[in-house]
């Protein structure tokens, strides 16, 4: 008979991709995971995983069984919460976000999670969020993905966007494309200290012999963008931060970009349900940011 332990061991191995990490996640020994998966394969009459020097890989039959396994685990969790007189208890979910996140996306993420969890938000740099995630102080992080990070069990790519030069609607360069970097030499600039591409932007100007005149420097994006709208200066920012009152300046050779994504901590509560909720809400979350573009 298939037991819940079989399902949990199967899912842990799928998500972790390693018997050792699956055992750590379920707080059991590695032989227990190996024996449980082998017993499940015997009862199903199908090989669910291939084991080789490169690791553990799900077979075609394993992939076919995966949706059923996730559904079974979800039903088990629903059964655990059953009871007419049992008060609903929301688990706490600690979520980290970078400060350059579009406000609409933060709101969308909050609405997505608030139904099932008591959510606590913190903001920080990409480095700070990743360190907190590794240390178990965060369960989820919405941050900038690195170049070598592809789709994985604990990562969801949300969207890719360019960094652009922004100005007020009345600026004399507003709406122009392929503006030579030299044309920015005499422009007043606003430095967003929270910008992940600050160093690369500085190097871009240095390479082109441009030394901007700064009229404001701050990590507060709201202040920076308001001053751009007021005509105090121009700035570079992710496209999702563009407001209807601002216009773009296309700068020749300036082609920086970023990828935003969600990272899930290994010790996140009710992680299977969390993945399910996120999967269902990813499109709406991306749309909340795309609405700003």
Q: Taking every pair of C-alpha atoms in the chain, what is the biggest distance, in angstroms?
A: 76
Q: 248 and 259 in contact (C-beta within 8 Å)?
A: no
Give residue limits of the domains in the chain.
Answer: 4-80, 91-159+259-290, 161-257
Summarize pLDDT for 227-278 with one digit per residue, the tens. Answer: 999 999 999 999 999 999 999 999 999 999 999 989 988 777 777 778 788 8
Look at residue 54 and tell me whether its pLDDT is greater than 70.
no
Stated length of the chain: 293
Instruction: Report how far residue 215's alpha carbon sits from residue 29's, in angstroms, rounded to the nearest whole number.
Output: 60
**Could you tell me which of 292, 268, 288 has the C-alpha nearest to residue 109?**
288
- Please determine whether the domains at 4-80 and 91-159+259-290 fall in the same fold group of CATH: no
Query: Does the domain at residues 4-80 carry the CATH identifier 3.30.70.1060?
Result: no
Question: Domain 161-257 belongs to what topology?
Answer: D-Maltodextrin-Binding Protein; domain 2 (3.40.190)
Structure tokens at 184: 């920015």
Q: Please identify, in words, the CATH class of the domain defined by 91-159+259-290.
A: alpha beta
Of the two residues 43 and 78, the one the predictor is more confident about is 43
- Give percent of the chain above pLDDT 90: 42
CB-CB contact of 242 with 249 (8 Å): no
- Indicate the SS3 state at residue 123: strand
Q: Are 204 and 253 in contact (CB under 8 A)?
A: yes
Rounded to whole angstroms, the Cα distance separating 290 from 23 reads 40
Going by pLDDT thresholds of 50, 70 and 90, the confidence category of residue 167 is very high
How confident is the model over 177-232, as pLDDT tens digits? 999 999 999 899 999 999 999 999 999 999 999 998 999 999 999 999 999 999 99
């Amino acid at each position: 008979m298939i037991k819940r332990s079989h399902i949990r061991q199967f899912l842990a191995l799928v998500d972790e991709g390693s018997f050792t990490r699956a055992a750590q996640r379920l707080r059991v020994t590695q032989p227990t995971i190996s024996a449980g998966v082998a017993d499940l394969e015997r009862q199903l009459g199908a090989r669910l995983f291939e084991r080789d020097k490169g690791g553990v890989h799900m077979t075609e039959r394993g992939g076919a069984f995966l949706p059923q396994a996730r559904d079974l685990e979800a039903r088990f969790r629903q059964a655990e919460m059953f009871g007419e007189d049992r008060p609903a208890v929301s688990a706490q979910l600690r979520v980290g976000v970078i400060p350059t996140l579009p406000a609409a996306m933060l709101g969308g993420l909050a609405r997505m999670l608030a139904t099932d969890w008591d959510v606590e938000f913190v903001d920080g740099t990409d480095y700070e969020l990743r360190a907190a995630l590794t240390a178990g102080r965060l369960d989820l992080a919405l941050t900038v993905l690195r170049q070598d990070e592809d789709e994985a069990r604990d990562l969801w790519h949300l969207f890719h966007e360019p960094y652009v030069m922004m100005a007020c609607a009345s600026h004399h360069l507003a709406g122009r494309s392929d503006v030579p970097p030299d044309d920015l030499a005499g422009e007043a600039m606003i430095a967003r200290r929270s910008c992940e591409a600050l160093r690369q932007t500085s190097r871009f100007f240095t390479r082109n012999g441009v030394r901007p005149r700064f009229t404001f420097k701050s990590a507060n994006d709201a202040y920076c963008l308001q001053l751009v709208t007021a005509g105090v200066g121009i700035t570079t920012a992710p496209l999702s931060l563009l407001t209807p009152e601002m216009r773009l300046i296309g700068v020749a050779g300036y082609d920086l970009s970023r990828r935003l994504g969600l990272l899930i901590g290994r010790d996140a509560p009710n992680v299977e349900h969390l993945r399910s909720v996120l999967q269902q809400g990813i499109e709406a979350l991306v749309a909340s940011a795309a609405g700003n573009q």
